[in-house]
Structure 1
């Protein structure tokens, strides 16, 4: 079994078109996993094996693969996950980061820090993922290493420490200077597959010495051991001491090593792989795993080693034509073996492990066990979903859940042929298993099936998958926005639920105040102010559940309530006729009877839209944003292009990318991220409610 100290679970993350997949393909080539370079433009990459990924030239689903790298007389196992850059597939990034130990953040040397770069960086911060940075495309026109490093420091608030200095830029980019060893790495062959280590060219020596001094000055402030050696004799600090100090600072997330290269030209890949081994964490660096008891109430710390009872997290579900349903898991403690019986945290039931596989992108290799810190696949687990904890039946635990955003838009869908209705239901069930950001609901007013997702591209990809993979042709309706409601006034209400059927009856009596929820919060804030036992404690959770249920359909047009507060003030019970379900009914009825008096308002999702465009199109594109009810927040020139940040209602953005390309003759690009909910203007509320 591979020692966890020699294992690296890493993710490749970035803004769309920063070169993540190309970089991953080069890493696989130079580690010997592949013997031919794949290219996104040619649709023959290992990681983008899905037909839609090949067709669109983007990563849609996070791919995982295991490879090996030789460095410092050691062999390092590297589990690589290449994640999407498009905001519609942010859930893929989220679930990948949850199970990773480290990440490579890729930035384009020309475009620098982009909006989605900030999104994935913040996601990595949430999960405390140490990172190294690779500034890619140093051979591109407009490449500027120093500017991108400054953007990382200023916009991402990261302590970016260059450990390399690029030699030249654009067409003159020929290599890098290793600031730790003070040597030059020059790619001299046309294909860039090999490099030579030489002395630093004289013209670059002064810049290299200045950059190295900055690196050591900053690093010595973060590491006391290095500080002692550096202040004693700066010139005699050993390479190993610098690398060890940089690793410690990286693991503590106090520093981010920065490297440079041009992945498409095969430049900078081998040093990047060395940096993965040197600076990113191993599972062995995690001494304990934080968990809770099955009820989620008592914190538990599990020793992260193979002698601990098993604790693993299912982070992705896949369906393969040949092996069936695959559950991707990360083992946090213990060893997962074929034949094991485990406890599922969500269902409370036992599941049996039949076959285990090593992940090789779209291929799989059978293994007998998966050790602590490793990632693998389990075949045939029917009742396991994304986010489920699998643990030893005698030592059940619950690992931290994966956060997923709510779907923003939906389509009413139906099978073109009535005979495909059953097939559609089965296909949707599989899609929901694979993608937790999808939601399927039936509109109670029309009986239509509504498929909701993160954006137009997200839903387009899923509908195409229904057709190509499941052979179900679909009719779809107009896009539907995920509106919400909120209350603006506090009202008090007395509700009595009473029913008599000759024998035992039903009775519940509650008095409550319904009021607006916390402005930044979500869901129900339930406050129990019952005194003197007017309502027994065992009935209180049912009242709370009733209000939570009622919130799902709101007061105006069936949209869910974003947040509300309920204070339970008083009530009464009947000695024989009161049951928990009666109080749940009373809460639902009370909500329906009083909700319209609480001043409900309609909320709509707003998006942060970042547009990059040539300056000559500024007027026409800002005018278009204004027509879409957009609010321009920021404009600046950056690397000879105009960057515009605006807030725009999602309902005004359907088809925006197509219009943007038309207005700019294909020279502008945009990305959109969810910003929050805002009230719908009064003059538009009626239009929404009558749709």
Structure 2
């Protein structure tokens, strides 16, 4: 376990434009991995190596890179901030041990900040907060700290205070050593350790006292000394207490920086090593033994049999297909044979690589706690568990949101039809939120993704990377259906073909779910063995399959409850498949009587703008069927929060630029599905 204590598998997550790619670039520079300061504005960053990332100045796919700081190996995954690429954040968080949450000192908590924060909560990931862009006009460290407490309900504790702000930001006060760190060189490599400026001493003492008071709640040593003699508390004791509290997610340390101005990054690296967990601090993960179907605990140990999770597929021009793997147990070596949980087949490992963003170096092995890449694995997808063939296990899968927008697409040239199919198959391997369907009625190919930007990027990739030009139709919304009234129905499925026949009879209640959760709630209330137990799963499967096509316009049913009340069998003619057919047929008849309604996706929209544009922009949101939820002033900018149906937001970013002369910006985050007004629903159904 000695080696794994020196690993840090960390992610960097944030809202768009909080500066996380710049933070990563500075980390690579100060750890010696790069020798030139990359800039998002100049399009020469290491992490955003994709041409579209350089063009748009945003991160699209999560990049992975390995670097070193104070004898610790740090595997960094720089994740996108744009909501359209939330799958990249989701799959990265699944395999990380800790994360740096970056916030802009001016903008504070924004909608996508909340989304990624909640994703990190879902996976119980310890984190530290970096309040970046302290050099920006309107930067306010204390306001952002309070916003994080109020809006994210997080127990954040500053371990630094900024020295100055905006153009006067020169460094930070370290509340643990009670020294000021002042940057004095253009490239930020050197900084002076000084006494705290006299005008900040009172504020620093007050902040340090708050930190010690908080830590005393979680550490007995700090508590005893804090009560008797606070001055006797040592730096090492604070580090120990803060590390424990951070790992247990009781406290989240907060630091300050201006990454673009090369200030504050070295203390951030120290904090990553000091406070974020190593794989040894997360001693085990849960899995299911394929042999016994029982839950097992897999400990992070090189002595155990191998278990790992494929969390991303990359198609590289030079190395071919790369499978990024987090190793949870054992050691992975070139030449090993592994078992794939999804296919049930064995795969042989040829070469292993360490990822250096857009460069790769060959390694002999990847051990427990580490992240690496396997070259040339066939039929492996995101979320597949890879394990030792003699001890097959299944790790928790990565769950992804459903795509919400689609385009009908076709190759411009008949010669490129096959080429388009191959390209789409490769893109789907890389991106689990991308789906390709064939519309049963029109025969059109429908490409679905998370939003306009997501699909725009995919279509540009088809052209640039695969040389396939396409025609696309108007955007299509991923509507869903829901039932509003309960219906009791009896269905008899009967068939006679001369020999043995088919028979199944079921009585069930079809109703809306009361808990509002998506999917099927299936309740078996059959008494006295009227339907044998082995046929019940087939009934459930029949309803699950039937939900994929609703009764109104063929859209999937978002959620429903089925109570299986009674049924009947034929002694010789009843089979499991008959009950599946009965459920499917019964659903079609009952669904029409259950008063189905149409649902549409709603987005949470936050617009930032100068105050003089508020009236025209809120008026435009109202015209799009938006509901204004709040207007507030933050650092001389007006912030408008609204809920708007996705159908009203196509092309919105371009319209917003026109309305504000390019001075407004919008953030769109998926919120939920809501009922479509009857008049609009009728048009959608008629169109569909």
Identify whether the pair has TM-score above 0.5, normalized to the shorter chain.
yes
| Deviation readout 1:554-580 (Å, 9 max, x if unpaired) | 101110011112222222222332222
Please report how far the alpha carbon of residue 296 of structure 1 lies from its aligned counterpart in structure 2 after TM superposition. 9.7
1:16 is the counterpart of 2:16: yes
Per-residue CA shift, 1:454-497, capped at 9, x if unaligned?
Answer: 11001100111111111111111101001011111222222222
Cα distance in 2, alignment partners of residues 2 and 266 from structure 1: 33
Q: Is the 8 A contact 1:296 1:398 kept in 2?
A: no
1:169 and 2:147 equivalent?
A: no
Question: Are 2:389 and 1:386 aligned?
Answer: no
Alpha-carbon distance between aligned partners in 2 of 1:422 and 1:615, rounded to the nearest angstrom: 52
2:202 is equivalent to residue 196 of structure 1: no
Partner in structure 2 of residue 348 of structure 1? 344
Match of 1:4 in 2: 4
Give the whole-Å Cα distance in 1 for the aligned partners of 2:187 and 2:391: 54
* Superposition pairs of residues 155-234 of structure 1, within 5 angstroms: 155-234=151-230
Instruction: Compute the displacement of 1:519 (Å).
Output: 4.5
Determine if contact 2:291/2:392 at 8 Å carries over to the other structure: no
Q: Distance in 2 between matches of 1:170 and 1:594?
A: 64
Q: Distance in 1 between matches of 2:484 and 2:157?
A: 49
User: 1:261-310 CA deviation, whole Å, 9 max, x = no partner?
Assistant: 11111111111111111111111111222222338953211221111111
Distance 1:570 1:97 in 2: 45
Q: State the distance in 2 between where 1:45 and 1:324 align.
A: 23
RMSD: 1.4
Secondary structure at 2:318 match in 1: coil
Give the structure 2 partner of residue 652 of structure 1: 648
Aligned mates of 2:182, 2:559 — CA distance in 1: 59
User: 1:675 corresponds to which residue?
Assistant: 671
The 5 A counterparts of 1:201-280 are 201-280=197-276
Separation in 2, partners of 1:544, 1:490: 18
Distance 1:543 1:190 in 2: 69
Give the paired residue count. Answer: 687
Please say which of residues 213-222 and 30-39 is displaced more in the overlay.
213-222
Aligned equivalent of 1:605? 601
Gaps of at least 5 residues in structure 2 are none
Q: 509-518 or 406-415, which moves further after superposition?
A: 509-518
In the alignment, which residue of structure 2 is the partner of 1:55?
55
Matches within 5 A, 1:445-594: 445-594=441-590
For residue 478 of structure 1, give the secondary structure of its aligned residue in structure 2: coil
Deviation at 1:46, TM superposition (A): 0.5
2:431 matched to which residue of 1? 435
Q: Which residue in the other structure is 1:319 paired with? A: 315
Question: Where does residue 417 of structure 1 map in the other structure?
Answer: 413
| Alpha-carbon distance change, 296 to 462 in structure 1, aligned in 2, over 3 angstroms | farther
Where does 1:351-370 land on structure 2 (aligned, <5 Å)? 351-370=347-366
Q: Structure 1, residues 83-105: CA drift from partner, whole Å, max 9, x if none?
A: 00111111111111111111111
1:518/1:563 contact within 8 Å kept: no
SS in 1 for 2:607: strand
Flag the 1:317–1:112 CA change in 2: closer, same or farther, 3 A. same
SS at match of 1:629: coil
Q: Secondary structure at the match of 1:556?
A: coil
Distance 1:618 1:396 in 2: 59
**Match of residue 34 from structure 1:** 34
- Name the SS of the counterpart of 1:485 in structure 2: strand
Establish whether residue 309 from structure 1 lines up as the match of residue 305 from structure 2: yes
Do the aligned residues in 1 keep the contact of 2:526 with 2:565 (CA within 8 Å)?
yes
- Aligned mates of 2:387, 2:663 — CA distance in 1: 52
Instruction: Check if 1:78 corresponds to 2:81.
Output: no
**Cα pair distance change 1:671/1:661, threshold 3 Å:** same
Q: Is 2:623 the counterpart of 1:623?
A: no
Show CA shifts across 1:236-281 (max 9, x none). 2111111111111110111111111111111111111111111111
Tell me, what secondary structure is at the counterpart of 1:587?
Answer: helix
The answer for the alignment partner of 2:145 in structure 1 is 149
Q: 1:403: how far off?
A: 1.8
Deviations 1:529-588 (A, max 9, x none): 222322222222112111111110110111001111222222222233222222211221
Moved more, 526-535 or 349-358: 526-535
User: How far off is 1:225 after superposition?
Assistant: 2.1
Judge which range, 522-531 or 130-139, deviates more.
522-531
Please, which runs of 5 or more residues in structure 1 have no aligned partner? none
Partner residue of 2:133 out of 120, 131, 137: 137
Taking structure 2 as the reference length, the TM-score comes to 0.98
Asked whether the 8 Å contact 2:409–2:473 carries over to 1, the reply is yes
Distance 1:169 1:367 in 2: 45
2:90 matched to which residue of 1?
A: 94
Q: CA deviation at 1:76?
A: 0.9
CA deviation map 1:302-324 (0-9, x unaligned):
22111111111111111111111
Give yes or no for contact 2:549–2:557 (8 Å, CA) kept in 1.
yes
Output the CA distance in 1 between the equivalents of 2:500 and 2:168: 88
Cα 1:43–1:122, aligned 2, differ >3 Å: closer, same or farther?
same
Check the 8 A contact 2:299/2:328 in 1, yes or no.
no
Could you tell me how far apart the structure 1 residues matched to 2:339 and 2:45 are?
A: 38
Q: Which moved more, 1:222-231 or 1:651-660?
A: 222-231
The answer as to whether partners of 2:599 and 2:673 remain within 8 angstroms in 1 is: yes
Please identify, of 238-247 and 590-599, the stretch whose mean Cα deviation from structure 2 is larger.
590-599
TM-score scaled to structure 1, two decimals? 0.97
State the distance in 1 between where 2:268 and 2:484 align. 55
